[in-house]
Amino acid sequence: MNIALAIMYLYPNADPMRDFRVQNNGPEPVLRPGAEEKGRVRYEIKPPEEGEEPIEGIHYRYGIDYNLLTEGEDYDLVERGPYIALWNLDEPQPTKAELQAAWEAYQEAEANKPPELTEIEQVREELAQTRIALTKTYEQLQSAQDEATGAQLALVELYELVLPLIGGDV
């Protein structure tokens, strides 16, 4: 499931750069009980002033050095997968079930969406529509010419009938 696309499907006006952040850290180490003391290392931040007692968080901090530990014995690598790391929308953060439903709806909507035409296909489609319109116009013109020709023939026949009556030569 693509969480970002599911969120964008649920909240189309959301800005993925500002309103939410989806993160995937890959496999992360999870310590087993008792391994913390084995891998604990003191990191110096800054030396204390003369006569000053070192304070944790200011002069030093403790961390875990995974090089001192054995994978599978002291810690395991666990894949957490993608998750919502930041949520700045006024809407409540969606649950996994809501995200899954939105993802399925998004996929269905994408599958039912008509395919986008390439530029050449668009030009071909426009050309086909222009040909259809031109054919209709030509047929209308041909019909109008046929009507005009018929009207002219009727006038000629009428003229030939009326001319002898008024004393003219045919």
Cα–Cα distance for residue pair 85/77, rounded to 1 Å = 20
Choose one of 91, 112, 133: the last residue of a domain.
112
| CATH number of the domain to which 39 belongs | 3.30.56.60
Q: Which domain holds residue 100?
A: 3-112
- Residue 111 pLDDT more than 70? yes
Cα–Cα distance for residue pair 121/51, rounded to 1 Å = 80
- Residue 102 pLDDT more than 90? yes
CA angle 84, 85, 86 (to 5 degrees): 95
Number of domains in the chain: 2
Indicate the pLDDT class of residue 168, thresholds 50, 70 and 90: low
DSSP state for residue 71 in the 8-state scheme: B
Residue 83 three-state SS: strand
Cα–Cα distance for residue pair 106/109, rounded to 1 Å = 5
**pLDDT mean over 144-168:** 90
**pLDDT mean over 145-149:** 95
Indicate whether this model's pTM tops 0.75: no
Place of tokens 């693509």: 2
Phi, psi of 42 (to 5 degrees): -95, 125
What tens digit of pLDDT does each residue of 52-78 get? 999 999 999 999 999 999 999 999 999
Indicate the pLDDT class of residue 34, thresholds 50, 70 and 90: confident
